[in-house]
Structures are given as C-alpha cells and as structure tokens.
A and B are shown apart, each in its own frame.
Chain A
Amino acid sequence: MRNSLSYSVAILLSLVLHIALVGALFVNWQPETERVMMQPQYIEAKLVELAPKKKTPAPKLKSKPKAPPKKPRVDLAKKKREEKKRLAKVAAQKKAAEKKRLEEERLKKAEQERQEQQRQEAERQRKESEFAEALAAEQALVNAREDEQAANSYRQLIQQRLSENWSRPPSARLGMETLIRIRLVPTGRVVGVTVLKSSGDSAFDRSVEQAALKAEQFVELQAMDPALFEKRFRQVDVAFSPEDLRL
C-alpha cells in the first residue's frame, strides 16, 4: 500500500516533469531564434541604462561626523583684580575639585571601558567556541557520512565478490536463506566462516560457506581506514537467499 502510494507520487512527479520538459522544448525553441535576431536592439537599450548607473556608485562615500571632545577652559581675564586673588584661590580650589572630579570620572570611565572590553572579549570567546563546536559537529557528521559511504562501497564489493563465487546446488530453491558470519583480518583475508542460521538444506548451506571460503581475500579492504575496519569489518554478516531461480 505505502509503496504503491509513494510510487504513484513519484510517477506523477516524473510525468509532470516530462510534460514540462517536452512543453519547454516545444515552446521555447522558436523564441530563442527570434531573440538572436533582436539582440542588437537590446544591447543599445542596455547601454543607455548602464550610463547613469555607473555614475551612482562614484559618490558613494560615507562621511562620518566626528565630534572631537574638547575640555572647556575657564577664562578669568575679565574679573576684578581684588577678587582676582580670592577668585584665583576659589578657582584653584574649584580647579582642584574639578580636576579630582575629572580624574574620578576618567577612572570610572576607564573602569567601565575595561569591563566593557572584558564583556566583549568573553562574548567573542563564547562565540568562537560555539563556532568551533558547530564546526566539530559538522566535521563529525561529514566524517560519519564519509565512513558510511566508504563502508557501503566495501560492503558492495564484498557482496559482488561473494555473488561471483556462489554456485548454488540444484537443491536450491527460492525462499531458502542461510546467514553466515565471515571473520576477516585487516589484510582482507577470510579467516573464518560460521553459519548463524541454516537454510535447512545442507548442500545449500555448504554452497554458501564455499562461496565465502572461495572468495579467500578481499584485497581492497587493505586500503580501508583501520578504525572503520575494526568497527564494521572484523565480522561481516551475510545473508544468502537466491532470487534468480526458477523454482
């Protein structure tokens, strides 16, 4: 049921695609020859359009308004002389206070700036590590996919080699299945074969064992990443079930 449904969707899709393709062939071939003839006109039109466009990027410069902070200076020149001294004293006091205040302010600002910097640094570090983490995860994903692809190609190779070496006895029938475990060493050599699930027909089982033993060595496995070999290919389980027999 599910299969036929998914197939129907696929068939519909392919049908639509085919129709679209054929349609495109019929509809679009002729206008293209026309377009070739019209081309000079288009080029002229485009040139006109391009001229003003070229001008616009030129003045594209951003002017940044800069406001350099300047400290206001107290002007004492227009005051009376008598008061000059007192005022000078007050001014001195004031100046001292002002200086102190400014100094405090400066310190405070510096402290704030330092904190801000620290915060930014922390933020940057956090982002960096997050990025590294994501990168690592992606790398792991890529590695796993590559592993899987490599494993699949090796599995296909093993399957093909076993298929070539499998000579079924005449007692073999559709529906028979023998499951074996092949033990391999990193040179690709078959060092052991055990029947995990018998088909019930001893001649059939033996033909399966013979297929694995006759394969003898999968030399190509030597090129495999050792970790992958350990993980997937030290033991390989293979199910033999004929699908190309008459009976």
Chain B
Amino acid sequence: MGQKIFALLFLLLFSSASYSELVIRVTQGNDKPTRIAIAPIDQTGIQTGEDISRIVESDLQRSGLFETIERRNMLAFPGRAQDVYYRDWRMLGSEYLVAGQLRSVGGGRYQLEFSLLNVTAQKTVLTHKVSGSINQMRDLAHLVSDKVYEEITGIRGAFSTRLAYVTAIRKNDKYTYRLNVADADGAREKLVLESAEPIMSPSWSGNGKELAYVSFETGRPAIFRQNLVTAARQQLTNFTGLNGAPSWSPDGTQMALVLSKDGNPEIYLLDLQSNKFSRLTRHFAIDTEPTWMPDGKSLLFTSDRGGTPQIYKLNIATKRTERLTFTGNYNARPSLAPDGRTLAMVHRQKDTFHIASFDLKTGRMIELTQTRLDESPTVAPNGAMLMYATKQGDRGVLAAVSLDAGVRYVLPSSVGDVREPAWSPFLR
C-alpha cells in the first residue's frame, strides 16, 4: 500500500517536471495590416517638390499589408533613430516607425538616410542610405518602401517597378493610341509610342530595358521591339495574317509569339540573335497568348483545341502539351506569378469575365475580381499583386488586386481608355 503511494507520488513529481517543458502551440493567427508610422522626412533647406513620406505611406497602404498612422496625430517628427522616443509611438498604436533625413552631398546629389524602428521591441531594425538627384525623389521614396516592405513582410518590394499600358483617346471620331510607361503607382507617365492605328500586347524584356508590342501602323499587325532609354525601334515580324502576342523569354534571347502565316494561329519561337522562327504548335484549333514559365523551358498558352478556350502547357524541347485548366468553359490569357505555381487568368463565369488565380499544384481556383469585363491580368514581379484592365462606367481603367484577393484598388488614370497593362520585371 505504502509502496504504491510512493510510486504514485514519484510518478506525479516526475510527470510534473516534464509538464513544464510542454510547449504551448499557436496554430491560428489574426492577420491584420501592420501599423506603421512614416515620420515626415527631415529635409531642412531642400526644396524637392515631393513629399517623400507621403509617397512611402501610399505605397505601403496600397499593398494592403500596412496601415499608416496619420501625420496630424504624431507627437514628434524625429529624423534620426537616436531622436526617437518609443513611448510616443507606442501610444499611437504603431508597431513600426520610419524616420529619415535628406541631406545635400554636393554635385546636385542628395542622400536619404532612413531607419526602420520596431516600436514594439524598441529597437532599430535597419538603417539604410539611398541617393539620387533632385528629380529622383520619387525613386528614393519607392526604394524606402521596397526596403521596409521586404523587411516586414518577407517579400521583395515591387514599388520601384513600372507599368506599360495602352491608352486610346477618341477625338472627333478618330482614335489616338498611345503606349505609355509609368511608375507602379501610376505616377510619372511617359509616352513610348503614339499612333493613329491600334497598339496592342506590350511585353517587357527580362532586364526591363525594352518593350515588345504589336502595332498596326504598317496597315497590318506587326511586332516591334523598342529600347526605352534610346527609343531605338526594330520591326520583328511582317507576315501576312496575324502577328501577335509577343512574350520575351526570361533570359531575353528568345521571343514566343503567334503567327497565322501557315493557316491558323500557331505559337512560334523567334531567336532574337539569328532572327530565325521555329514553329512550336501544330493544331487546327487556335493557339495563342504564350507566356513563359520562370525556368524558360516551357510555355503556357491558350487554346480552344478542347472545344472551349483552356490553358495548356507546352514543353519546348519535347513539344509535348498538357491541359492545365478544367474548371469552367473559358480560361484564357495566362500570367504566371514568379513562384511558377500561381497562375492568373481570365475566367468566364455565367457570361461575365473575371480574373481568377489558379494553383498549378493543387488545382484550386479562386476568383479575384467581381467586376464584369476584366481582362489582361499581369502579375507583379514579387507575386503579391496583379494588375488588370476593367471598366469603370464606360471607361477602361487599370485596377489591381492582391493575389489573396484581400485588397484591391483602381489606378488613377490619365485621359481616355486604359487597357493592356504589363507589369515590368524588377529593375535593379
């Protein structure tokens, strides 16, 4: 009897010792935007014409992952990490703080030194310097956004990237088409090409220095490439019939495109060094809209060979094709996220066209947009957002949605109809 009790007591003692090593498991979270304060950049004596902090604020806010603290609530505007009183920011419910100083370093150059501070843990996370000319203040701001975004979210920021898109302006029953390039936030729009004939399908080169596009300026569709810095142009195709949907390979040496010179639209490969074409598909159905897999070894394209438009994968070496989408009777215009797994596409549901994401691994489809005539999805190089063309009233505008459908916004547009967006690769 006594022995039993002792054994029991021993067991109890022993087990209680092991309990203290038991680990609490947290398996659910409460994902909320991170609260961050962007203190006004200290730029005493420098007239920049841009409010760098405001640009950073709107960048971070647009991502949907951040919530910024209003400037009028701030108790202090520290320029350096050592001037920060954490309590001030904690009181505002801020988890992070960005503070920075802009100084002239001579020769028309300016240096922005900024710090990201963790208010909750009361320590400096990073301090970084970027510099540029007086005209590059927006670039500096986007660089700050990129750094902060990457540090906190674990994903590379894409605020310094750019967008190419086409606008159509109607005046006196005549259209003017423009190919433009702008910052990812829609600012600093720059004209690349203006034409009285349609311009379509802009595609970025892998290094972000060139654009390929389809122009009807010669009277029929032809594919051009154009250097964005030197503005040098080169016509790549001049075949009868369709010349369209150029897509630059990731290494920049080849281009996938669609030609109908042999009867009906087929996918071809153009070697940009030798200027030689090779045919990839051979089918009586329409094959179009090729886009590269990140490894450059296969292409995704749209084909109606199965009766309805669906997305297929084509191995370039073996020419083998494989159907990828089976949900719905219209899936087209594939645009692949850099993870090589999440595919954005146009998906028809009951006569309305939405943008949907499709997980190549699990086959799961998620509708990302609820508007009616959504088209031309293009995924940001960091895979966090995608841009697409939609209608607002009777006007074409660009809108963005995060790939988890958590946040969406419409890009403030210039005049006319905006369509066919193409998101650039990382530029640095």
| Contact surface of A with B, Cβ cutoff 8 Å | 130, 133-134, 137, 140-141, 144, 147-148, 151, 155, 158-159, 162-172, 179, 201-204, 206, 209-211, 213-214, 231-232, 236-244, 246
Tell me if B152 and A169 are in contact (CB < 8 A): yes
| CA–CA, A241 and B12, complex, Å | 30
Tell me if B120 and A214 are in contact (CB < 8 A): yes
Tell me if B155 and A171 are in contact (CB < 8 A): yes
| CA–CA, A151 and B19, complex, Å | 10
Q: A170-B384, A232-B19 are in contact. Are A242 and B154 (CB under 8 A)?
A: no
Residue in B9, B20, B28, B404 with the greatest tally of chain A CB atoms within 10 Å? B28
Tell me if B21 and A166 are in contact (CB < 8 A): no
Secondary structure at the B interface, as helix, strand, loop or mixed, is loop
Q: A133-B5, A202-B154, A203-B151 are in contact. Are A179 and B23 (CB under 8 A)?
A: yes
Q: Within the complex, what minimum Cβ distance (angstroms) separates B424 from chain A?
A: 21
Binds A, one of B29-37, B228-236, B243-251, B346-354: B29-37
Give the interface size class of chain B.
Answer: 35 or more
Can you list 15 A-B pairs with a CB-CB distance of less than 8 A? A141-B8, A155-B24, A159-B24, A163-B29, A166-B29, A167-B32, A168-B31, A170-B384, A171-B153, A171-B155, A179-B23, A204-B154, A210-B120, A213-B120, A236-B24
Tell me if A244 and B153 are in contact (CB < 8 A): no
Q: Decide yes or no whether B16 CB sits under 8 A from chain A.
A: yes
| CA–CA, A213 and B121, complex, Å | 7
Tell me if A137 and B19 are in contact (CB < 8 A): no
* Chain A residue contacts of B28, Cβ below 8 A: 163, 166, 242-244
* Chain B residue contacts of A201, Cβ below 8 A: 154
Q: Within the complex, what minimum Cβ distance (angstroms) separates A215 from chain B?
A: 10
Q: A133-B5, A203-B151 are in contact. Are A163 and B26 (CB under 8 A)?
A: yes
Tell me if B25 and A231 are in contact (CB < 8 A): no
| CA–CA, A169 and B157, complex, Å | 13
Tell me if B121 and A137 are in contact (CB < 8 A): no
Q: Within the complex, what minimum Cβ distance (angstroms) separates B30 from chain A?
A: 5
| CA–CA, A203 and B156, complex, Å | 11
Tell me if A231 and B95 are in contact (CB < 8 A): no
Q: Within the complex, what minimum Cβ distance (angstroms) separates B269 from chain A?
A: 32
Nearest B residue to A140, CB-CB: B9
Q: Decide yes or no whether B107 CB sits under 8 A from chain A.
A: no
| CA–CA, A105 and B118, complex, Å | 97
Q: Within the complex, what minimum Cβ distance (angstroms) separates B409 from chain A?
A: 17
* Chain B residue contacts of A179, Cβ below 8 A: 23
Tell me if A231 and B30 are in contact (CB < 8 A): no
Q: Within the complex, what minimum Cβ distance (angstroms) separates A38 from chain B?
A: 53
Nearest B residue to A234, CB-CB: B20
Nearest A residue to B1, CB-CB: A130
19 additional contacts, CB 8 Å, given A203-B152, A204-B154, A214-B95? A134-B1, A134-B5, A137-B9, A144-B16, A155-B24, A166-B26, A166-B29, A167-B29, A168-B29, A169-B65, A169-B153, A179-B23, A202-B154, A211-B26, A237-B24, A239-B25, A240-B26, A242-B28, A242-B29
* Chain A residue contacts of B2, Cβ below 8 A: 130, 133
Within 8 A of A (CB), among B1-52: 1-2, 5, 8-9, 12, 16, 19-34
